[in-house]
Amino acid sequence: MCVPDFIAAVVERIAFEARTDKRVDKRSGVSQRMPISVLENAVSNAERRSVTTGETEIVPRISDVYAAQPAITGKIELEYEGELVGGHAIARELIRRAADATFQDRAGGVNVDDIIIWFDEGGALQVTDDEGAEAMAKAFELVPGLVELVRRVGLAPVGDAPLTVAACELVLEALVARKRLSRSDGGLYGRAEPEKRRRRPNEDFFGGGLSA
């Protein structure tokens, strides 16, 4: 089994992000065991995949960290605002913010325009935690510049499909965190969704004032 250093970093940063999130109860704090529990669950999910795919190399990915969400929600207490949003929604945000911070540390400032343009023009990519590394690596090659990027910045070497897949997921998650792409709960990446404009008090749906 091989845990990529950037996956370990993402797991550690999840706890850091949780401790700085205003929706997480500071009085109860964040369990010191959160990173250990999340990593254990992510590794377990990667091991499950290796059994079903027959792969001998076990490499956890971001999608395995998503599968470990119960280990996040079970280790934090939420404030009232957090309860309104929901534990799983906050866990997803924490994963994305942790992925973005990790990616920026390793490749901040790298050009990702080709990747974003491909999705903006209608490209979509389904990423699941039960697909083999070789198949996922080929799928990521459809996205212009993605595989080349992770190799150029040193996240994954040529010929290492499991590490390439983990690195590509890190890049996409960072772009989701920055609202350059979208990701469904089922792992479908696509163009960024426009933010919904909130209606202000005494304002109609077209932005005008409501008559008395």
For residue 49, tell me if it sits in a domain: yes
Q: Taking residues 77-99, report their average pLDDT.
A: 90
Reported as a single tens digit per residue, the pLDDT across 11-56 is 999 999 998 998 988 787 788 899 999 999 999 999 999 999 999 9
pLDDT of residue 83: 85
Q: Taking residues 161-173, report their average pLDDT.
A: 97
For residue 183, tell me if it sits in a domain: yes
Q: Taking residues 159-175, report their average pLDDT.
A: 97
For residue 208, tell me if it sits in a domain: no
Domain tally, the chain? 1
> Residue 64 sits in which domain range?
5-191
For residue 103, tell me if it sits in a domain: yes
For residue 68, tell me if it sits in a domain: yes
Q: Taking residues 87-97, report their average pLDDT.
A: 93
Q: Taking residues 73-82, report their average pLDDT.
A: 84
For residue 60, tell me if it sits in a domain: yes
For residue 5, pLDDT over 90 is answered with yes
Q: Taking residues 105-109, report their average pLDDT.
A: 93
For residue 160, tell me if it sits in a domain: yes
CB 130 within 8 A of CB 198: no
For residue 30, tell me if it sits in a domain: yes
* Token pair recorded at residue 133: 């590394």
34 Cβ partners below 8 Å, 6+ apart?
14, 15, 18, 71, 72, 75, 76
Reported as a single tens digit per residue, the pLDDT across 173-184 is 999 999 999 999
